């Protein structure tokens, strides 16, 4: 399957990929909203990661003074790029914080994290290869080790891309998504590479020197830890980032209005209730002011006895999603509502109800109770 297919989906098709993320975004926005404070916290979080990365790069250059010049250049370049990234994204966070838009916030945060993890991958793999070269022992040639690492990197990249193609089976009506020859190549090349690493691990463990435990430490780093680090760096940066970030957020932006309508929220934050607005329909789900649980409207214009006096309130509600419980009935007024999560069904009969309700209020002799 052509990867371009992922960028040409209809809203209904994209929702198969984006559904979970859209629900999470809706929940966060309804619960927390979005403000400059969120942008500031996100920048501080990414800044801490970047500073740790800069510290590690500087420490590696100082702690390994005898490393080759190319390695020093790579680590120094990562340090400079990270510093530049901090300055650039600091400005971007500051400028875009005034938008109060969750989608803009997500784009900036994930773009910042992508570059951070990319720089971490470059510095980590470079450092591990250097360590692997320094720890190489016995019959293992450094050139051979690096050739294996390069082969493993190529394999990891191809494997991650093929996984993206195979995921099409979950979202599209596709019987075959990849070339069977490529599938066989990955299967056997992965087996060959892991077999070589396994055999070299055993050979160097028992024939690399007299100290068994010293050999165990070195062979574990060279033949297990470094290959695993290479694989997971490529897998994260290519597969995970593509399928969990790039594609979902691409469609959240492309079909922004449709997602806001379907999941009843706005990327610019929860919709505050107009206190002068007409009474809300049955089935509406909302938060009361200073409330932490959702409430669903199950009755309107409710009269009841309060300490021997007749009173009325605009709404009767129940906790959502628990439902009606006589022991936990909630009475409240329109002005007590903070924001609406989901507005109930409305038709022409609802409009007629508003007219009747307003006439009823004018003629009502019962006092309205305040929370």
- pLDDT at residue 134 greater than cutoff 70: no
Are 173 and 305 in a shared domain? no
The answer to whether residue 93 is domain-embedded is yes
The number of domains in the chain is: 2
Strand 309-319, strand 330-332: pairing: antiparallel
Q: Can you give the pLDDT at residue 269?
A: 67
Sorting pLDDT into bands at 50, 70 and 90, what band is 162? confident
> Residue 296 phi/psi, 5° resolution?
-110, 135
- pLDDT at residue 36 greater than cutoff 90: no
The answer to whether residue 276 is domain-embedded is no
- Residues 6+ positions from 366 with CB-CB distance below 8 Å: 303, 310, 311, 312
Are 167 and 238 in a shared domain? yes
What's the whole-number mean pLDDT along residues 184-197? Answer: 83
Candidates 273, 363, 362, 265; CA nearest to 25 is 265
Sorting pLDDT into bands at 50, 70 and 90, what band is 343? confident
The answer to whether residue 228 is domain-embedded is yes
Please provide the average confidence, as pLDDT, over all residues in the chain. Answer: 80
Q: Please give the torsion angle defined by the CA atoms of residues 98, 101, 103 and 104, in that order, rounded to the nearest 10 degrees.
A: -10
- pLDDT at residue 350 greater than cutoff 70: yes
Q: Can you give the pLDDT at residue 63?
A: 66
Query: 214-240 b/e with 16+ CB inside 10 Å = b?
Result: ebeebbebbbeebbebbbebbbebbbe
The answer to whether residue 76 is domain-embedded is yes
Are 174 and 226 in a shared domain? yes
Q: Can you give the pLDDT at residue 339?
A: 78
Do residues 136 and 145 lie in contact, with contact meaning Cβ atoms separated by under 8 Å? yes
The answer to whether residue 258 is domain-embedded is yes
Q: Which two tokens stand for residue 311?
A: 């009173």
Q: Can you give the pLDDT at residue 298?
A: 92
Are 165 and 310 in a shared domain? no
Sorting pLDDT into bands at 50, 70 and 90, what band is 316? very high
- Residue found by looking up tokens 């989906």 in the block: 9
Q: Can you give the pLDDT at residue 312?
A: 87
Cα–Cα distance measured from residue 195 to residue 189, given in angstroms and rounded to the nearest whole number: 10
Give 235's DSSP letter: I
Higher confidence at residue 136 or residue 181? 181
Are 207 and 307 in a shared domain? no
Q: Can you give the pLDDT at residue 10?
A: 86
Residue 207 burial (CB count, 10 A) = 11
Q: Can you give the pLDDT at residue 188?
A: 84
Strongest mean pLDDT among 17-26, 211-220, 250-259: 250-259
299 class by beta-carbon count within 10 Å (0-12 exposed, 13-18 middle, 19+ buried): middle
- Domain boundary, last residue among 262, 295, 330: 262
Q: Looking at the chain, list the stretches that DSSP marks H as alpha helix, in order from N- to C-terminal side.
A: 11-32, 36-63, 69-96, 102-135, 142-166, 168-171, 180-207, 212-220, 226-234, 241, 247-254, 256-262, 348-363
What's the whole-number mean pLDDT along residues 263-283? Answer: 72
Q: Which domain holds residue 335?
A: 285-368
Per-residue pLDDT tens digits for 88-132:
999 999 999 888 888 899 989 999 988 988 888 887 777 666 655
The answer to whether residue 337 is domain-embedded is yes
112 class by beta-carbon count within 10 Å (0-12 exposed, 13-18 middle, 19+ buried): buried
Distance of CA 128 to the CA centre of its chain: 28
Q: Can you give the pLDDT at residue 296?
A: 93
Sorting pLDDT into bands at 50, 70 and 90, what band is 315? very high
Are 253 and 297 in a shared domain? no
The answer to whether residue 332 is domain-embedded is yes
Are 46 and 193 in a shared domain? yes
What's the whole-number mean pLDDT along residues 57-80? Answer: 74
Least confident of 142-146, 237-241, 297-301: 142-146
Candidates 144, 137, 165; CA nearest to 152 is 144
- How long, in residues, is the chain? 371
- Domain boundary, last residue among 197, 227, 262: 262
Are 81 and 225 in a shared domain? yes
Per-residue pLDDT tens digits for 3-21:
677 788 888 888 888 888 8
Q: Which two tokens stand for residue 206?
A: 């028992």
Are 132 and 55 in a shared domain? yes
Are 338 and 235 in a shared domain? no
Cα–Cα distance measured from residue 7 to residue 110, given in angstroms and rounded to the nearest whole number: 19
Residue 178 burial (CB count, 10 A) = 17
Are 238 and 134 in a shared domain? yes
- CA dihedral sign of residues 271, 286, 350, 258: positive
The answer to whether residue 19 is domain-embedded is yes
- Domain boundary, last residue among 207, 228, 262: 262
- Residues 6+ positions from 114 with CB-CB distance below 8 Å: 237, 241, 245
Candidates 82, 29, 75, 90; CA nearest to 287 is 29
25 class by beta-carbon count within 10 Å (0-12 exposed, 13-18 middle, 19+ buried): buried
Sorting pLDDT into bands at 50, 70 and 90, what band is 45? very high
Are 235 and 300 in a shared domain? no
Q: What angle do CA 225, 243, 161 make, to 5 degrees?
A: 60
């Amino acid at each position: 399957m052509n990867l371009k297919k992922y960028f040409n989906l209809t809203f209904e098709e994209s929702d198969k990929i984006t559904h979970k993320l859209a629900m999470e975004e809706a929940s966060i926005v309804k619960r927390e909203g979005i403000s400059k404070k969120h942008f500031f916290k996100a920048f501080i979080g990414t800044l801490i990661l970047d500073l740790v990365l800069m510290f590690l790069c500087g420490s590696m250059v100082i702690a390994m003074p005898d490393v080759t010049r190319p390695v020093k250049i790579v680590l120094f370049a990562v340090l400079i790029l990270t510093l530049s990234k901090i300055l650039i994204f600091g400005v971007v966070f500051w400028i875009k914080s005034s938008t109060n838009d969750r989608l803009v916030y997500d784009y900036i945060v994930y773009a910042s994290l992508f570059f951070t993890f990319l720089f971490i991958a470059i510095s980590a793999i470079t450092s591990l290869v250097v360590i692997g070269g320094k720890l190489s022992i016995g019959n293992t040639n450094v050139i051979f080790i690096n050739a294996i690492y390069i082969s493993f990197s190529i394999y990891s990249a191809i494997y991650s891309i093929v996984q993206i193609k195979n995921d099409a089976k979950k979202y599209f009506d596709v019987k075959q998504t990849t070339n069977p020859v490529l599938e066989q190549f990955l299967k056997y090349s992965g087996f060959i590479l892991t077999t070589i690493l396994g055999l070299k691990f055993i050979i160097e463990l028992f024939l690399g020197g007299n100290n068994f435990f010293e050999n165990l430490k070195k062979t574990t780093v060279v033949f297990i830890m470094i290959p695993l680090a290479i694989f997971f760096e490529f897998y994260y940066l290519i597969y995970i980032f593509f399928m969990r970030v790039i594609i979902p957020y691409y469609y959240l932006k492309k079909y922004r209005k449709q997602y806001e309508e379907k999941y009843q929220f706005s990327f610019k934050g929860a919709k505050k209730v107009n206190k002068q607005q007409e009474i809300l329909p049955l089935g509406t789900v909302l938060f009361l002011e200073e409330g932490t649980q959702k409430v669903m409207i199950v009755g309107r214009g409710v009269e009841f006895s309060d300490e021997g006096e007749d009173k009325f309130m605009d709404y009767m509600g129940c906790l959502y999603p628990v439902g009606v419980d006589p022991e936990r009935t909630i009475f409240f007024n329109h002005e007590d509502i903070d924001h609406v999560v989901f507005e109930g069904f409305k038709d022409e009969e609802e409009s007629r109800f508003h007219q009747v309700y307003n006439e009823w209020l004018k003629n009502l002799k019962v006092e309205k109770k305040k929370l």
